[in-house]
Amino acid sequence: MKIITQAPELKEFTKNINQSIGFVPTMGALHEGHISLIKRAKRENEIVIVSIFLNPTQFLKGEDLDKYPKKDEADKKICELAGVDVLFLPHVNDIYGSDEASILAPKVRGYILEGATRPGHFNGVLTVVMKLLNIVAPTNAYFGKKDAQQLNLITLMVKQFFMSVNIVAVDTVRESDGLALSSRNIYLNKNERKEALKISASLYMAGKMVSKNILDSKEIIKEMRATLEPLEIFYVEILSRDFEKLLHVEIGNTIILVEAKVGTTRLLDNIWL
Of residues 233 through 272, those in contact with ligand PAF by CB under 6 A are none
**From the candidates 34, 91, 121, 248, which is the catalytic residue?**
34
**Count of positions on this chain that bind ligand PAF (CB under 6 A):** 10
Active site residue 31: no
Is residue 129 close enough to count as binding ligand PAF by CB under 6 A? yes
Is residue 145 within 8 A of residue 195, CB to CB? The reply is: no
Strands (E), 39-108: 47-52, 86-88
Collect all residues with Cβ–Cβ distance below 8 Å to 63 and sequence separation of at least 6: 118
The phi, psi pair for 21, rounded to 5°, reads: -120, 125
Residue type, 113: L
Nearer to ligand PAF, 142 or 220 (CB): 142
Residue from 83, 67, 3, 1 nearest 35 by CA: 83
Residue type, 39: K
CB of 105 to ligand PAF, least distance (A): 12
Q: Which of 13, 21, 25, 237 binds ligand PAF (CB under 6 A)?
A: 25
Nearer to ligand PAF, 128 or 249 (CB): 128
Nearer to ligand PAF, 119 or 216 (CB): 119
Collect all residues with Cβ–Cβ distance below 8 Å to 97 and sequence separation of at least 6: none
Of residues 130 through 159, those in contact with ligand PAF by CB under 6 A are 147, 150
Contact characters 35-74, ligand PAF, x per CB under 6 A: --------------------x--x----------------
CB of 260 to ligand PAF, least distance (A): 19
Alpha helices in the chain (DSSP H): 7-15, 32-44, 72-81, 92-95, 114-117, 121-136, 148-160, 190-195, 197-211, 217-228
Binding stretches for ligand PAF (CB under 6 A): 25-27, 55, 58, 125, 128-129, 147, 150
Q: What residues act catalytically?
A: 34
